[in-house]
Amino acid sequence: MNTILWVVVLIVLGTILAAVEVLVIPGFGVAGLLALATLIGAAALAYLQLGPLAGALAMGAGAVLSGLLFWLLPRTRLARQMVLDEQHRGDASGGAFAQLDGRSGLTLTPLRPAGTAEIDGKPVDVVADGQYVEAGTRVRVVRVEGARVVVIPATAEQLQRTDSQGENP
């Protein structure tokens, strides 16, 4: 095979390996290292066989193709499916749990420290505030941190106060 053809094949192979590193197995590193070695090999082959200008052109071609790849990939449909857009970032609950603050309910599972409680007739994933809570225990929401609903066992006095204020049906 002709030296120029080998250089072109190595540059294309290096670019394909870089794409594999980014799309298929990101962070693993083997494909990325092989891509780098292949692009350097193409430049070295061109430099040794065809001269310094050809080596510089091969290195430039590898850099331009890789740069183009990294510019184009985020704009593909596959890459857009892999990355969250702005409207999906931030509070995972969307503030839906804020209304539960101060409410009471009944644990459906043991809280060790996480489990499920029924609050306002709906099952909610909750976390006990530093203690084990048996299933079937009345609990009160003490704080809501995004999607994290923190509860403590409720005393009879707290439950009466909450129910008499009309906060909890």
Report residue 162's pLDDT band, with 50, 70 and 90 as the boundaries. Answer: low
In the predicted model, is pLDDT for residue 161 greater than 60?
A: no
Q: Which of 161, 162, 115, 155 has the alpha carbon at shortest distance from 139? A: 155
Torsions phi, psi of 128, nearest 5?
-75, 145
Tokens 């203690």, located at residue? 131
Percent of the chain residues past pLDDT 90, beyond the cut: 43
The C-alpha angle 157, 161, 166, rounded to 5 degrees, equals 150
In the predicted model, is pLDDT for residue 10 greater than 90?
A: yes
Between 82 and 56, the more confident residue is 56
N-terminal to C-terminal alpha carbon distance within the chain: 82
- Read off the pLDDT of residues 68-91 as tens digits, 9 standing for 90 and up: 888 887 788 877 777 665 554 444
Sign (positive or negative) of CA dihedral 120, 125, 128, 132: positive
DSSP string of 102-130, one letter each residue:
T-EEEESS-BSSEEEEEETTEEEEEEESS
User: At 134, which amino acid appears?
Assistant: E
Look up residue 97 and give its two tokens.
């749990």
User: At 168, which amino acid appears?
Assistant: N
Report residue 1's pLDDT band, with 50, 70 and 90 as the boundaries. Answer: low
Res 164: pLDDT: 53
In the predicted model, is pLDDT for residue 95 greater than 70?
A: no
- Read off the pLDDT of residues 21-36 as tens digits, 9 standing for 90 and up: 877 766 678 888 898 8
Res 146: pLDDT: 82
